[in-house]
């Protein structure tokens, strides 16, 4: 089976740097795949995309050195299985509240006897290779999101779930859950402590820890803290700030 960059980076003891796509477009996905990221995530939860466009985006990412992954909208087995069949080599699942949900998530990603993934790997087989079925369970990466109070309180039991590679912190929802608003780079002490608690509990269980960040500077700081899967902002935010800077820069130049 084709290699999974995420596992290769982790084996080297480094932090994975992932792109995060909320624009539903294959060309954007292809550009992201050629931009130096270890993996490129298609966001089916909040991204402006549907399943058919996701498939085109995964095809575009497959033509680049980056590994394609998907954030599913919820812990919904049919959608998780569809993303895997479409060639996702990793799944991030939002709003994991307890061990039972984490177990259901992991089960949907593994073939029997370990899980209940239904057989029909479609693009997974084309992209992954003829031996996809033999290696998929081991190769696919599973990260459960911690971004609710229930999830935070159940961190220990979630991190103990067999087959879960680790957790992924959603700082915006976690900030909201803690009554602190959406804070991509929280300076609030309660949110800061909750994020560090996620990191330390994951590490205690020998699991990986990821986090969404508002910039590369924050992502670099998070990876030096010990997070080993970082996302430096989303395509839409980056496009907006680049467009805004160019628009403002051009106006200043004209006025000079
Ligand atoms: C969050 O911050 O809540 C996320 O889901 C990642 O953007
Ligand atoms: Mg969230």
The C-alpha atoms of residue 7 and residue 49 are separated, in whole angstroms, by 27
Could you tell me if residue 129 is left (phi over 0), alpha (psi between -120 and 50 degrees) or otherwise beta? left
Asked if residue 256 belongs to a domain, the reply is no
Asked if residue 132 belongs to a domain, the reply is yes
Nearest alpha carbon to residue 216 among 31, 36, 7: 36
The answer to pTM > 0.75 is yes
Window from 72-81, 176-185, 204-213, 245-254 with minimum mean pLDDT: 176-185
- Report the separation in Å between the CA atom of 167 and the middle of ligand 1, taken as the mean of its atom positions: 12
pLDDT over 90 at 256, yes or no: no
Q: Which residue has the tokens 């991509």?
A: 184
- Report the separation in Å between the CA atom of 213 and the middle of ligand 1, taken as the mean of its atom positions: 9
For position 156, which CATH number holds?
3.20.20.60
Does the annotation mark 46 as catalytic?
yes
For 136-192, the pLDDT digits (tens) are 999 999 999 999 999 999 999 999 999 999 999 999 999 999 988 765 556 788 999
Average pLDDT value for residue range 79-108: 98
Find the helix or strand (DSSP H, E) in which 122 lies: helix 122-128
Ligand 1 atom with least separation from CA of 182: 2
Average pLDDT value for residue range 196-225: 97
Nearest alpha carbon to residue 145 among 209, 87, 201, 81: 209
- Please state the domain count of the chain: 1
In this prediction, residue 180 carries a pLDDT of 85
Share of the chain above pLDDT 90, in %: 94
Pairing of strands 39-43, 67-71: parallel
Domain residues for 129?
5-250
For 4-39, the pLDDT digits (tens) are 999 999 999 999 999 999 999 999 999 999 999 999
Ligand 1 atom with least separation from CA of 145: 5
Asked if residue 255 belongs to a domain, the reply is no
Asked if residue 117 belongs to a domain, the reply is yes
In this prediction, residue 100 carries a pLDDT of 98
Which residues line ligand 1 at a C-beta cut-off of 6 Å? 147, 170-173, 212
Residue 199 has, within 13 A of its CA and on its CB side, a CA count of: 18
Nearest alpha carbon to residue 202 among 167, 170, 161, 169: 167
- Report the separation in Å between the CA atom of 173 and the middle of ligand 2, taken as the mean of its atom positions: 5
Selecting among 46, 135, 205, 208, the annotated active-site residue is 46
Pocket test for ligand 1, best of 170, 182, 183, 233 (most atoms within 8 A of CB): 170
The C-alpha atoms of residue 41 and residue 49 are separated, in whole angstroms, by 12
pLDDT over 60 at 255, yes or no: no
In this prediction, residue 188 carries a pLDDT of 85
**Per-chain mean pLDDT for the chain:** 96
Asked if residue 187 belongs to a domain, the reply is yes
């Amino acid at each position: 089976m084709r290699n999974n960059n995420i596992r290769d980076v982790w084996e080297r003891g480094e932090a994975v740097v992932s792109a995060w796509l909320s624009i539903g477009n294959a060309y954007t996905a292809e550009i992201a795949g050629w931009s130096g990221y270890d993996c490129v995530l298609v966001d089916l939860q909040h991204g402006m995309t549907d399943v058919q466009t996701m498939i085109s985006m995964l095809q575009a990412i497959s033509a680049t050195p980056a590994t394609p992954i998907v954030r599913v909208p919820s812990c919904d087995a049919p959608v998780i299985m569809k993303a895997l069949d479409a060639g996702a080599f990793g799944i991030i699942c939002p709003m994991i509240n307890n061990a039972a949900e984490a177990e259901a998530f992991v089960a949907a990603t593994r073939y029997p006897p370990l899980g209940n993934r239904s057989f029909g790997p479609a693009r997974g087989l084309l992209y992954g290779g003829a031996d996809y079925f033999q290696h998929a369970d081991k190769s696919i990466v599973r990260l459960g999101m911690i971004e609710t109070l229930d999830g935070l309180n159940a961190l220990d039991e979630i991190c103990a779930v067999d087959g879960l590679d680790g957790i992924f912190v959603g700082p915006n929802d976690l900030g909201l859950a803690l009554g602190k608003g959406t804070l991509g780079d929280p300076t609030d002490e309660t949110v800061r402590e909750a994020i560090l608690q996620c990191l330390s509990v994951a590490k205690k269980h020998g699991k990986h820890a990821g986090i969404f960040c508002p910039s590369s500077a924050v992502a670099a700081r998070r990876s030096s803290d010990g997070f080993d899967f970082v996302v430096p902002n989303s395509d839409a935010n980056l496009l907006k700030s680049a467009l805004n800077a160019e628009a403002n820069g051009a106006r200043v130049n004209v006025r000079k």
